[in-house]
Amino acid sequence: MGTLSEFKKITDTEDFFDFFDLEYDERLVNSKRFHIMKKFGEMVDRAIGHDMGGDEKLLEYYKFALITVYKNFENGYSPSAADVWEMFDKPSGCGTCSTSTSCNDVEEVSNGVHACTSTAAISF
């Protein structure tokens, strides 16, 4: 496992699995990529502001979070329609900010529809 600064530079789903040296089914990741990363991002966000006892413990939590999310999808978890459609109602569900809940670059583009105007990046 690498360092926290290396973790923060990762942008691709497969790279998170490789970073933690975890095996994964490429077909599952390809078909559920967005949902896996959305749930993983939510778990990563939960760790913000908590003292985990250092970078190593924080990375262990992130690894556990990725394993947990992946196993849920591997075991047949499927987000409800409400979960899927909810992302379209919230500016934080934009493709640019990924799972970020603190996007400051959201603008109304048409009749109450919002879009992010920041540059593409995944943030955790």
* 8 Å CB contact between 110 and 117: no
Handedness of CA 48, 38, 72, 7 (dihedral sign): negative
Q: What is the pLDDT of residue 19?
A: 95
CB neighbour list of residue 20: distance below 8 Å, 6 or more residues apart:
1, 62, 63, 66, 67
Q: What is the pLDDT of residue 105?
A: 59
Residue 106, SS3 per DSSP:
strand
Higher-confidence position of 1 and 60:
60
Q: Per residue in 71-104, pLDDT tens? A: 888 877 665 444 544 554 554 444 444 444 455 5
Q: What is the pLDDT of residue 62?
A: 92
Instruction: Tokens for 13, please give them.
Output: 């789903």
* 8 Å CB contact between 81 and 92: no
Q: What is the pLDDT of residue 123?
A: 43
Q: What is the pLDDT of residue 74?
A: 80
Q: What is the pLDDT of residue 97?
A: 47
Q: What is the pLDDT of residue 6?
A: 94
Nearest to 35 by CA among 105, 97, 114, 98: 98
CA dist list (Å): 69 to 46, 65, 77, 85, 121: 14, 6, 9, 20, 21
Q: Per residue in 16-47, pLDDT tens? A: 999 999 999 999 898 888 888 998 998 888 88
Q: What is the pLDDT of residue 47?
A: 83
User: Is the confidence at residue 108, as pLDDT, over 80?
Assistant: no
CA dist list (Å): 103 to 45, 94, 117: 14, 9, 9
Q: What is the pLDDT of residue 67?
A: 92
